[in-house]
Amino acid sequence: MGTAREMPVNETASSVVSARRLGLTFETNDGPVHALSDVDLEVKRGDFVSFIGPSGCGKTTFLRVIADLEKATSGEITVNGMTPEEARKSRSYGYVFQAPALYPWRTIEKNVALPLEIMGYSKADRDGRIQRTLELVNLSGFGKKYPWQLSGGMQQRASIARALAFDADLLLMDEPFGALDEIVRDHLNEQLLKLWARTEKTICFVTHSIPEAVYLSTRIVVMSPRPGRVTDIIESTLPRERPLDIRETPEFLAIAHRVREGLRAGHSYEE
């Protein structure tokens, strides 16, 4: 695993995630599975990077390597100039899972307070942050409810608030809206963009929806399976301000087309 010393100084300054020839092989009873192979990627501060590809392409695995929930078996990766483990221990990212994973015995407020309690924030500081982040995800007034009293979309928003409550400028999101219906998803996508603009966080976002990736991202990383690798990295030419109907412009459709081409080149449509 790489260390900060090996990296050029000017690169660590603006680079939040930096991966070099990263590989991860799971040893299973049916032989080794190459989840990731030779992944090179730079994520710059303030980027919104989407990872797209069919299931099994390693996009979630890559996110979990950044989060130190999996260990890479080859290559180098740094997060905020540190090893992923150091980055995790210095609490430098917030992680949003596929499901809300809220604790049912805690109210929404208390769920948002969970990381703050663990990280030792003071009571007064906690209260202020809970209020601010719940406002940020439009859940003010629902703080006293229990998770099971809210809809799926609201629960996922609460889990985003929980990831935003502490001072991590990197947000890792693993198909956070995958389980929601399209209307709710559109709405949350729009809110997420506004939130990104207001908080100026760096976001890594895993999805399997082409429109979602194109609509949200400044960069789209197209991945392909067996072994999981990067086939294309697309810089978005869309403006940062994006109303929902931007998805019908020729520019948007051109980027979506390029993503689809990238997926096809990686044999993602073959089966």
Partner 1 sequence: MKLIRRSWQGALALLLCLAALPLLPLLGPDAATAAGNGVTVLIFALIVGAALVSFARLSAPILAAILFVGVYAAAWLLIGLLSGNEGHATSAFFPLIAASWLMAWRCVSALSAVETRSATTEALLRLLIPAIFGAWILILWEAVTRGAGVPFILLPPPSAIGERLASSVPILWADVRQTIFKAVLFGYIVGCAAGFVTAILADRIAFLRRGLLPIGNLASALPIVGVAPIMVMWFGFDWQSKAAVVIIMTFFPMLVNTVAGLSASGIMERDLMRSYASDYWQTLVKLRLPAAMPFIFNALKINSTLALIGAIVAEFFGTPIVGMGFRISTEIGRMNVDMVWAEIAVAALAGSVFYGLVSLGERITTFWHPSNRS
List interacting residues with partner 1 (CB under 8 A): 67-69, 88-91, 93-95, 97-99, 101, 103-105, 114-115, 117-119, 146, 148
Give the closest residue to 139 by CA, choosing from 200, 98, 188, 172. 188
In the complex with partner 1, the residue whose CB is nearer, 7 or 101, is: 101
Q: How far is the CB of 122 from partner 1 (least distance, A)?
A: 17
Q: How far is the CB of 28 from partner 1 (least distance, A)?
A: 17
Q: How far is the CB of 115 from partner 1 (least distance, A)?
A: 5
Give the closest residue to 79 by CA, choosing from 15, 126, 33, 142. 15
Q: How far is the CB of 147 from partner 1 (least distance, A)?
A: 9
A 10 A CB-CB count for 182 gives: 11
Q: Under 8 Å CB-to-CB from 149, ≥6 apart: which residues?
A: none
Q: How far is the CB of 130 from partner 1 (least distance, A)?
A: 16
- Specify which residues 234 forms β-bridges with: 220
Give strand ranges (E) for the chain. Answer: 15-28, 31-44, 48-52, 74-79, 93-96, 170-174, 202-207, 219-224, 229-235
In the complex with partner 1, the residue whose CB is nearer, 142 or 252, is: 142
In the complex with partner 1, the residue whose CB is nearer, 68 or 219, is: 68
Give strand ranges (E) for 83-134. Answer: 93-96
In the complex with partner 1, the residue whose CB is nearer, 12 or 98, is: 98
Quick one: tokens of 58? 């390693």
Give the angle subtended at the CA of 5 by the CAs of 3 and 6, to the nearest 5°. 75
Quick one: tokens of 107? 């109210």
Q: How far is the CB of 52 from partner 1 (least distance, A)?
A: 22
In the complex with partner 1, the residue whose CB is nearer, 147 or 225, is: 147
d(CA 126, CA 166): 9
In the complex with partner 1, the residue whose CB is nearer, 47 or 174, is: 174
